[in-house]
Amino acid sequence: MGCKFFVRSKLYQNIAVYTLTKKSNMKKYLYLAIVSITFILGSCASDKTYFTPAIRNKIEANSIQLTQIQYYVDRTITLTRVLESGQTQVSAGSVKFENGQYVNVIVLKKGTPGVCTAAGPNKLSISFEISNGNYLNFGRTRMGSNNDPYRILADSWVGDYGLITYEGKIYHIEGSGAQATILIKTKWLNTQQVDKREMKGRTVDGGTTTTPAPQQ
């Protein structure tokens, strides 16, 4: 009797463990499914996509000028520079007093639209304000693949801080702004320009004719 009770108890324990494990796995798969569906729906619903070398190739193959496209920055970029002693007047941004120094701060907010003012083989100069020479360079990084977004390019790097020239002055790129990329409207991926013409035909005397050829 004791042996039967032990076997029955063990069987119930195994069933309980199996049931709990099955429920746990079902919850895990359900969670992963929800996350995947949310990601897919989010991607489908998005009207913007990251600008990559592959996307650039597709756009240029469709004879679309890069200067015709609207660009957007994907995150906030903060540029800072320490002002010289006694200098408090700046042409852009604001001035803050930090750690005993005056600092010029220029903020480019996430989603700000910009235009391409120049295009190189692996980079674009994007201007976010109307002023001569005010632009940021975005391009393919040294280790970037064909599907990696164009990232902000610095003149040089000091640790995690990028140094860039803006308005003819040297600024630091603060924080996550050093990983900033650009986006474009997804509609450009489905845009094609078709070059259509009609063959006019030829005659033996070298002229042209619009008379259709006889049916074979």
- Taken as a whole, the chain contains a residue count of 216
What residues contact residue 115 under an 8 Å CB cut-off, 6+ apart?
Answer: 67, 70, 71, 126, 127
What was the pLDDT predicted at 41? 46
Q: Give me 189's structure tokens.
A: 């991926």
The string of DSSP codes covering 143-210 is T--TTSPPEE--SEEETTEEEEEETTEEEEEEGGGGG-BEEEEGGGGG-------------TTS----
CA quadruple 206, 207, 208, 209: dihedral sign: negative
pLDDT digits (tens, 9 = 90+) for 68-77: 999 999 999 9
Q: Rounded distance, CA 49 to CA 42, Å? A: 12
* pLDDT confidence band for 10 (50 / 70 / 90): very low
Q: Rounded distance, CA 153 to CA 120, Å? A: 13
pTM: 0.65
Give me the percent of the chain exceeding a pLDDT of 90: 40
